[in-house]
Structure 1
């Protein structure tokens, strides 16, 4: 026998014995440490550990073969109730709960208590001290219209008109955009820049209207609001005003169609709040967690907006736009107000001015993650993560409380299984993130703190932010390794509305017009929710899903009541999902996905799904840049060869797993580790040349819209820079070559992860 074979057998036996010992003692979990005080409070519960078995503690078969869900999955489906989700949502929307406020902490403490009562093994509040941006209540942000004598002719509202005549309490912040710096702009010049997209600014400049040094006004929608501010800075604007145009948020406004509460359209006084940060996580502690005593960057060194920005209702924006002169805008730029849209920059009345005054305050405050855990019985150091941020700008009936309420019911159903003696093979973590609205702060800091742990131990991140924004069809974005479990779970999940003729969620999803794209699933994870740091920093297999509209009927970027005070419980109960059946359907899907990933002996992940995505990358690059790459002497042949080799390795791996008849615990661990390593191979320490904070070289965001995704973002960053250079730029084309090589390198790394572990 060869010496290396003997050493391998000895090592394998030691690993198997160690794994068994850890499982039996319950000490194998790299857990979130608890203080003695927390232990005394009963946060930790005794768990039942057991060795490898083929049946659960209550007699149900452990999932195997094509049955990824087993008896546990059936019981989760039966146990979950729509009325419980409704009850949770009613509580969650009873007060505003912006991060950094008393109400936000109260909800975190409530959630901790509920999860402990529901039987989770461990629950803790995990604070991070992050820089938050809040409005100054003594000096609310406003926009004024001044006449030639400096007299105020118009002042913007700081709050929506209350529907019942009762003023909002102090849990609701006045109008503001978080992380707009404090500042005042007084000017006779205002420029209308459509949606504030990069190409919109180019169009304005091409029309002979200079942006530099001037105040601009743009519509919400189409792209992330923070990218609008970044574009305004790129063109040297002095400040920016954003508003919700009725063309996007109430298209029937001119015809007299009522808004909320009679419909889900936004009333004229609705004000959208939101953060304008374009980088995720606490801006003062980039790349490391915001713990006690850490060094914080000085304000001038943070990557944050530098020009004042504010938000208006369309009632208030009309007062500015109707006074704007200059040339008419292109027809496609016209909004839904009954005015002539003009580009500016002059106001109609000589000597009149617009005054923008922002008085936001930045402070370092604690934000709280609520972390709950069910410890796995055989592989406690492998984690399936259920994720949702908890904070909202106002009541948050859609964003994020619809998902928080569903998450709470998922936890309750799991607790019911635990009480009957069931325990998953792997650990399940429930993360309720703090300060998600500000820029995914709670999730980003958690990822940074546990970066080294989850690089090796995280199985998947299953994120839901807005469970229900409408109820036409679900959309699902996911990295390829999760496509298989999602498809199988939808086939087991009952359809939310049997009267439509669909039996399962799979039928509903396939037979109705799909919400996100013609494809069943896409890879458009982008940076629209707290899943972003998991795939961008760790490469963890990730999903994001929810109920949305029929995009063939409606053309909107945000649902109408988004981030306004009208996003309250009654908007969900009376209009969007009165019976909470769509909440329940999504919760059941979410629960099945988790139990399949936590309990199947071999992870239900198919590496061949990666090949579909990899071939799409090459196809898209050829279609968009083929002739240009040819002119520069850049070939994609080596990239294609690596993808072909990956496909062969993935096919061989899948065939090997499919033909297995007897899988030992050690072999299962080895195969699962290969699968878990695959998508983590896509991360690169240096990140993109243009955006080094973006570490995933396969999945990323559009550089001009965080809500949009780019496959191969490093390559696309480099190609954009090279193709937009106004003169010969050989150095930029060198960066393109380098980024293509890095893309080839990470795919080759995934190829090596898929190869037989006995070979190199």
Structure 2
């Protein structure tokens, strides 16, 4: 029996959390007593003046106001000091998924949400396969001399720089889902960042990685793709390390690191998963609920070669012993050594030993789900989510996001119904379990509620990391959310008025942006829990955070990422007043309110048309030559984009001329808007990656961190471009994927035009 449900008796319906969740959302909202919120002094961390909120002032969004009275109340009531307290609690101990400490946090959230008056709160358990190091046999890398004597052993934990030893909530260095194995080799190859192109560069230089251990720098691409690329080129094992060029660029000049700055110290170790598909690997395509079959290991899509993670001070001891030719200049890192390709060791007979002792077990994980039930359309859901688990303390990833979500939920949404307000649609909060292992909690819930979310989910708003740095926002979103996010930013105060910006939108658009030329990009990638929502069911999706100035710093991971140094003190130094956490909460919360409370969803199909035009232009620009050689044309795809643009213009003209929107008409228009991006789902999935169902938004074939438009077509064209023979099969794949892309765009056109046939 799942969660906290109970069975009333023989022949009755089991009252599981899933059943109660859907039942509660479909029931009409119960009337609540009206309360008057008293006038009081503005807290110093609210950024907002205090206004009277008598019950007769609770108005719904109308006209150009997309947020109504609830939006103003959210801005007034959220406090930076509360977010700070939340983060302090969340980072008290490590809380890796599958541990008591992670379950303790789940129970803490469940009890708090119940006390704060959400309509429904429950724990949603799933039994998934987790991968962890054996307690008595930690993973290590050794350097052996010609007689087999150990000359160096890698560290299993970071140095305790704050004077307190780490407790048993902090796991030793490991990469989840690396298989257990021991590899000993006299031949080691340096492969730069482990790009597919890096392995090709080595091939052209006459350096074969087959049967050899490879060592690569973290960063630029997903660590699992580095391991997968090593497999593709038949390496025997992988060692990953954090090079100071990426994680502490001032290291050679004696620059300070944590705890004085956010740069990674020499002993820092990045943990992480190397699983390259989302969700429990033992229950592919279906949820890991009671009664589900868990496939055996032979059929799992898992890494086949061992991989381990070490610090840059340990990596240096390996790399100084590597021989062979010098690497290209672009491959050189920040260590004070001569970087060499290998594969020979400088000392004849010396070897590197890679030992991994991970074990896999099926264990329970827990989502915490809370619901504010809608008053008019309780069966339409705006989902707000963040994963809860962390490899260590997780101050930045993900607890900064969790701390903000707790404040959105705690201060605003339970109190607003007491003041006479409910959203038109239901708002669902999700604190996902086992996100770090591969978005397990979110993926399993998407699989369990797949048919429900396909029809009823309005949007999924994800924040994983709220603050990496405090320079500017990075926002990725599917086009149907661009309008509401921009309007929410215009309504939100600037995080730090001393910088001269009057609101968040001005800060975002007037300060140099990491994501240029547009404020919002489509590069969702597969970096967090938004991935299963857009890749599996196609609902409008967003991902947002505060970033560093990427024009000044070229990084892909923040320096303390997944290390024990990602603690409360490091975040308190980064955002001492928690103004930037509060600012992201304003943006996140207002976006949710606007989607939940507007009568007609604040979505503009013209934003979708802009994306479609860029998608088609991008294919022509990147693959025009190959398409011509294959006697293929994009003309039909472009004609479908034209038709969508025309339909979008007609839809907007129709809605702008309506003087009286009845509930039935609103429902019809909203269903059409919701259906646009769901049109991109193709049940069979991409031919290379069938678990990725979205034919419009996806990831690069060799880097899950990088988002691609038209991923199936791009995957097929990549294969055709790299084909060395007649390539008939590869070009058949291109033709099929192009046809599928045209099919889903045509489906979007049909969905948008539907009302004109009535």
Name the TM-score, length of structure 1 as normaliser. 0.93
User: Is the Cα–Cα contact under 8 Å of residues 56 and 62 in structure 1 kept in the other structure?
Assistant: no
Aligned twin of 1:26 = none
- Pair 403,635 (structure 1): closer, same or farther in 2 beyond 3 Å: same
Q: State the alpha-carbon separation in 2 of the partners of residues 164 and 630 from structure 1.
A: 61
Q: Which runs of 5+ in 2 are unaligned?
A: 1-15, 34-52
**In the alignment, which residue of structure 2 is the partner of 1:292?**
290
SS of the residue 2:251 aligns to: coil
Q: For 1:230, what is the secondary structure of its paired residue?
A: helix
**Partner in structure 2 of residue 386 of structure 1:** 384
Asked whether the equivalents of residues 17 and 122 of structure 2 are also in contact (C-alpha less than 8 Å), the reply is: no
Aligned mate of 2:670, from 651, 672, 691: 672
Report what 2:450 is aligned to. Answer: 451
1:322 Cα offset (Å): 0.6
Quick check: 1:143–1:355 contact (8 Å CA) kept in 2?
yes
Question: Structure 1 pair 291/756, CA: closer, same or farther in 2 (3 Å)?
Answer: closer
Shift of 1:49: 8.0
In the alignment, which of 329, 332, 335 is matched to residue 331 of structure 1?
A: 329
Question: Alpha carbon RMSD of aligned pairs, Å?
Answer: 1.7
Partner SS, residue 590 of structure 1: helix
Distance between the aligned counterparts of 2:345 and 2:319, measured in 1? 9
Residues of 2 paired with 1:389 and 1:541: CA distance? 19
Q: Which residue of 1 aligns with 2:165?
A: 167
- Conserved? CA contact 1:56–1:422, under 8 Å: no
Give 2:189's aligned residue.
191
- The aligned residue for residue 104 of structure 1 is 102
Cα distance in 2, alignment partners of residues 265 and 521 from structure 1 = 28
Residue in structure 1 matched with residue 140 of structure 2 by the alignment: 142
2: CA distance, partners of 1:381 / 1:138:
50
- Partner residue, 1:525: 524
* Aligned residues of 2:474 and 2:515 also touching (Cα < 8 A): yes
1:485 aligns with 2:484: yes
Shift of 1:56: 11
Q: 1:279 aligns with which of 251, 258, 277?
A: 277
Contact 1:310/1:358 (8 A) holds in 2: yes
- Which residue is 1:76 aligned to? 74
In the alignment, the residues of structure 1 paired with residue 342 and residue 291 of structure 2 have an alpha-carbon distance, to the nearest angstrom, of: 49
In structure 2, what is the equivalent of residue 562 of structure 1?
561
- Superposition deviation, residue 547 in structure 1: 0.2
Structure 2 residue matching 1:109: 3-state secondary structure = helix
- 1:153: how far off? 0.6
- Aligned with residue 367 of structure 2, among 364, 369, 378: 369
- Give the 3-state SS of the residue equivalent to 1:32 in structure 2: helix
Match of 2:31 among 31, 36, 48: 48
Post-superposition CA distance 1:125-180 (Å, at most 9, x none): 10000000011111000001111111111010000000133220010000000000
Query: Which ranges of 4 or more aligned residues in structure 1 deviate by more than 6 Å?
Result: none
Residue 548 of structure 2 aligns with which residue? 549
Tell me what 1:25 maps to. none
Q: Report which stretch shifted further, 705-714 or 62-71.
A: 62-71
2:714 matched to which residue of 1?
Answer: 716
Q: Does 1:317 align with 2:315?
A: yes
Quote the offset at 1:58 in angstroms.
4.9
Mapping 1:409-424, distance limit 5 Å: 409-412=407-410, 413-424=412-423
Q: Deviations over 1:20-74 (max 9, x none)?
A: xxxxxxxxxx983249xx99xxxx9983289xxxx99654221122211010000
CA contact (8 A) 2:257 2:265 kept: yes
Checking the alignment, whether the CA contact within 8 Å between 1:653 and 1:756 is kept in structure 2 is: no
Partner of 1:200: 198
Partner residue, 1:440: 439
Mapping of residues 293-692 of structure 1, within 5 Å: 293-412=291-410, 413-574=412-573, 576-692=574-690
Shift of 1:627: 2.4
Distance 2:671 2:538 in 1: 14
SS of the aligned residue for 2:414 comes to helix
Q: Tell whether the 8 Å contact from 1:56 to 1:423 is kept in structure 2 after alignment.
A: no
Unaligned segments of structure 1, at least 5 residues: 1-29
The alignment's TM-score, normalised by the length of structure 2, stands at 0.93
Give the Cα separation in 2 of the matches to 1:372 and 1:714: 36
For residues 148 and 516 of structure 2, what CA distance do their matches in structure 1 show?
51
- Secondary structure at the aligned position of 2:277 is classed as coil
Q: Which sits farther off after the overlay, 163-172 or 309-318? A: 163-172
In structure 2, C-alpha distance between the alignment counterparts of 1:31 and 1:459, rounded to whole Å = 21
Distance 1:191 1:379 in 2: 59
Q: Is the 8 A contact 1:119 1:418 kept in 2?
A: no
1:33 to 19, 33, 39: 19
Conserved 8 A contact 2:28-2:375: no
SS at match of 1:675: helix
What do the CA deviations read for 1:237-284 (whole angstroms, capped 9, x no partner)? 000000000000000001111110011100000000000000000001
The partner residue of 1:126 within 124, 127, 134 is 124
The answer to whether the Cα contact below 8 Å between 1:190 and 1:216 also exists between their aligned partners in 2 is yes
Q: Is the partner of 2:609 in helix, strand or coil?
A: helix
Q: How many Å separate the matches in 1 of 2:613 and 2:712?
A: 17
Farther-moved stretch of structure 1 (635-644 vs 238-247)? 635-644
Greater shift, 471-480 or 113-122, is seen at: 113-122
Contact kept? 1:390, 1:404, Cα under 8 Å: yes
Rounded Cα–Cα distance in structure 2 between residues aligned with 1:437 and 1:594 = 25
SS in 1 for 2:252: coil
Whole-angstrom CA distance in 2 between matches of 1:276 and 1:47: 47
Q: How many residues align?
A: 720
Residues 61-107 of structure 1, C-alpha deviations (whole Å, 9 max, x = no match): 21122211010000000000000000000000000000000100000
- For 1:4, the equivalent position in structure 2 comes to none
**Quick one: distance in 2 between partners of 1:320 and 1:474?**
38
With 491-500 and 293-302 compared, the bigger mean Cα shift is at 293-302
Looking at structure 2, the residues matched to 259 and 489 of structure 1 have their Cα atoms a distance apart, in angstroms, of 36
Query: In structure 2, what is the Cα distance between the partners aligned to 1:620 and 1:511?
Result: 27
Shift in Å at residue 555 of structure 1?
0.8
Is 1:156 the counterpart of 2:154? The answer is: yes
Q: Is the 8 A contact 2:29 2:378 kept in 1?
A: no
Indicate conservation of the 8 Å contact 1:391/1:436, yes or no.
yes
1:615-643 CA distances to partner (integer Å, 9 max, x unpaired)? 11111111111122122211111111111
User: Cα offset for 1:759?
Assistant: 1.4
In 2: Cα distance, 1:499 partner to 1:556 partner:
28
How many angstroms apart in 2 are the aligned matches of 1:487 and 1:369?
A: 30
Secondary structure in 2 matching 1:115: helix
Give SS of 1:743's match: helix
Partner of 1:24: none
